[in-house]
Structure 1
Amino acid sequence: MRNMLFAHGEEHVRLRRAFKTSLAKIGQRRLRATITRVADHLIDSFVGDGQADIVSQYAIPLPGAVLARLFGFPAQESERLQQAILTLLAGGEEALDANATLHGLIDTQVARRRQEPRADLVTWLLEEGLSFDETRETVWLAINAGVGSSTAWTANTCALLARTEDTRIDLRSGLRHIPGVMREVLWDHTPVQQVIGRVATADADLYGTIVRRGDLLVVSPAGANLDHARIGGDSHRSTYAEDNSSHLSWGNGAHECPAQGLAFALVQGGVERLWTRLDDLHLTDPDQPTRWNPSIIVRIPARLPVSWDARRARARAETLAPLGDR
């Protein structure tokens, strides 16, 4: 595809620069307001129930809705876009059809913005000089990677909050903060577990493992982040998780994730808003083990039933300024 993932050298630099320049045009105030508005809309839909599946009702729709707005997709296409991405990432018999749907939605949006530019990422990519195909395939890459990884990161951070009373106590007392909890998740449950299908371009000896030119490789950030030989075992893990950013969840080198700031802001904004409004959320059944989505690419709990005091949550909502509407 004609995007930065598959390019190298000067071509890669050109495509990556266009993407990063476009991202930089998203104002922080607009970004925070968009995240908060989407988060409040989702929370309002279930806050009075006192219980919810926080994966399907919050962690999954939040990143897709935010990114759809930033890329300028009409509201009525947001749900189809999100569903196509998640079906594609899950693999299986429906993945190819989902990819076709996704391409169709993106093609339509790029064509719209060529005719009617607006203040969104698709317009800014075109203004950076990318062709129709380059814009379409850059959007395909960015929105797939963004929705998949941000959904998993949000879901696993919510899972840690709901499952671990010590974490909730530390947050309430100010001993920890949400960004620190998010970094712990990057170490223990990195959103992108495996990068599927990289091909070796030269023979290599990786610590006694012979890799031949042309071999198909599966790169595992999850395995790297959990490597006891590197970290020193479980007893040393707590010293790594909170403030150490030497994990490989962002990748490394020339192809390191170019949207780290956006991803961090999206997940932090979503989790902090949920915590602000439901700071007593907890697992509905604490003895129920986590069941994981079958994808081997992204690590997402299949379900996360949580509960809270609905009356208390409604009272808290009345004291909160509607930040997302300003």
Structure 2
Amino acid sequence: MSATPPVTPQASPSVLPRTSREVRIVAVPRGLPSPGDFAVVQTPLPEPGPGQVLVRNRHFLVFPGLRTLLGGESDGVPLPPLRHGDTLFGPAVGEVVAAPDGDGPRPGDPVLHLLGWREYALVPAAQCAVLDDTLPDPVAYLAQGSSAYGALTRLAQVRAGDTVFVTGAAGAVGTLAGQVARLLGAARVIGSTGSPWKADRLRSELGYDAVVLRGSGPFARQLAEAAPGGVDVVLDTVGGEQLAAALGAANQGARFALIGALSGQLSADRAGGSAPVEIDSYRLVVKGLSLRGYSGTDHPEVEAEWTSRFGGWLRSGEIRFPHTTVTGIERAPEALPDLIGGRHFGAAIVELE
């Protein structure tokens, strides 16, 4: 896990560069993206107009949803598709370096916005969130824990003594989800991953009681051995055979919260917008299982609640924010393929020098 220095608010520099670098799509991926599909290009530095601010980005998040936006199957996704020549985007933290007079963020303010993948971003002021000290490190605002927290508190409603199973436990969501489940009262937390070294870290660093290793034997049998008493809550980020196996291990009245579908999103055989799975509907009926998808837009109060609790847990040392830092925009074209290839633990964050 990489330590990242906090963003310190600074006065706007007297002289800004004339150009900025950003990561653009130079070839629409056929199948999974590769580094050659992207290029770092130099562009003129934009100048903010009314209602805009210029932000110097310090860190941005690499998120797997970009695969869906690149694959052309983004119907129903509240983000625009990505095409040849477009600049990638995603959550970023940085500081305002120029802003016209008026309301809104001012030079020196640390902010969160969605125009990552570039050194300087011209952002509508209304789409910038000025950061306070709720989280001890502004980089933690890039953590992907809100959906896991919302799903575990609103849909699955973890109870004291529950056994919780988290699929994709070594990803940006899963590394936080297992810790959150424990803090909410879970007695046993089980995860899944595809790498032995990730399984070791999940157990040794993040408190997972057991880890099911994808590809090392029948998944359903491994899960049954890891959860001999069955599972009460499933937080699913993967779908596919892992969701089907979890249904087989479910206790009476188990609650399933679905927040991702990486089995389809990261498949070379699909375009990122579907993840078919065969499930036993009879088991859903006779065991009284609930199976629900989580959307943050249905629970607008969750983000602020999560940020407050996350900040408290970070300061008390009750939770960690696992992330891998990729240094320099020159390495950014490799970051998404590496994420899809499973070469990162926790969130993947590009740090701009």
- The TM-score, its normalising length taken from structure 2, stands at 0.23
Higher strand share: 2
Task: Name which structure has the greater RCO, CA cutoff 8 Å, separation 6+.
Answer: 1
Query: Which has a greater percent of helix?
Result: 1
